[in-house]
């Protein structure tokens, strides 16, 4: 059976109809904002209540953790290697190494220069990428020559006047 395309007449027939539709959209957006505002208040209340309920438990965990650390530190020589396996968990020491570098740009550049002199290029990250915002400003022919495409689309948009609707509400 062949498919038939049903062409419906546009629902909105005048600019006044469009304006009325924009008003209705704005009213619905305001209602959604109010619903989301109430939801966020409830979520924040639940977070606060849960935090208060969990605080004594977390405080006890922190205290027990400090007590365990103190005991294990005093009895470090009794560990088999670096870890002690117990019935309800493990404890011990782990060697961790952190590297810190200055964050000032001039000091970082000096470090990079020293790394290059020592042929330690594997320690340098170089990231190159295309700046599309700048490239968009070039002629379309130039963009096509380098392998890009420039697509121009007339995109529909609308914007509602929510503040005007709010001011009309009782």
Based on the fold, state whether residues 42 and 78 are members of the same structural domain: yes
Per-residue pLDDT, 10: 84
Beta strands in 8-148 (DSSP E): 83-86, 89-92
In total, how many domains does the chain have? 2
Based on the fold, state whether residues 67 and 21 are members of the same structural domain: yes
Q: Is 86 helix (H, G, I), strand (E, B) or coil?
A: strand
Closest CA to 161 of 30, 15, 1: 30
Q: Distance between CA atoms of 154 and 35, rounded to whole angstroms?
A: 33
Per-residue pLDDT, 20: 95
Based on the fold, state whether residues 84 and 139 are members of the same structural domain: no
Domain with 22 in it: 13-96
In tens, the pLDDT along 60-108 reads: 999 999 999 999 999 998 887 888 989 999 999 988 898 999 889 899 9
Closest CA to 161 of 28, 35, 22: 22
Based on the fold, state whether residues 62 and 103 are members of the same structural domain: no
Based on the fold, state whether residues 108 and 77 are members of the same structural domain: no
Based on the fold, state whether residues 132 and 143 are members of the same structural domain: yes
Based on the fold, state whether residues 66 and 48 are members of the same structural domain: yes
- The residues that bridge with 80 in the sheet, in sequence order, are 83
Q: Does 158 fall in a domain?
A: no
Q: Does 160 fall in a domain?
A: no
Q: Does 26 fall in a domain?
A: yes
Q: Does 159 fall in a domain?
A: no
Q: Does 157 fall in a domain?
A: no
144 CB-near residues (< 8 Å, 6+ apart): 150
Q: Does 4 fall in a domain?
A: no
Low-confidence ranges of the chain (pLDDT < 50): none
Helix, strand, coil % over all residues of the chain, rounded to 5: 55, 5, 40
Per-residue pLDDT, 168: 85
Q: Does 166 fall in a domain?
A: no
Q: Does 6 fall in a domain?
A: no
Based on the fold, state whether residues 88 and 17 are members of the same structural domain: yes
Rg (CA), the chain: 33
């Amino acid at each position: 059976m062949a498919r038939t395309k049903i062409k419906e007449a546009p629902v909105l027939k005048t600019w006044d109809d469009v304006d009325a539709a924009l008003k209705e959209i704005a009213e619905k957006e305001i209602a959604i904002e109010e619903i989301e505002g109430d939801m966020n208040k409830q979520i924040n209340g639940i977070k606060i209540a849960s935090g208060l309920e969990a605080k004594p438990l977390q405080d006890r965990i922190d205290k027990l953790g400090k007590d365990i650390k103190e005991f294990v530190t005093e009895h470090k020589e009794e560990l088999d290697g670096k870890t002690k396996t117990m019935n309800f968990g493990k404890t011990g020491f782990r060697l961790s190494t952190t590297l810190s570098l200055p964050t000032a740009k001039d000091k970082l550049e000096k470090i990079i220069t020293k790394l290059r002199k020592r042929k330690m290029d594997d320690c340098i990250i170089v990231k190159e990428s295309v700046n599309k915002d700048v490239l968009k400003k070039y002629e379309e022919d130039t963009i096509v020559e380098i392998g890009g495409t420039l697509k121009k689309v007339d995109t529909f948009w609308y914007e509602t006047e929510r503040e005007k609707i709010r001011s009309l509400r009782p």
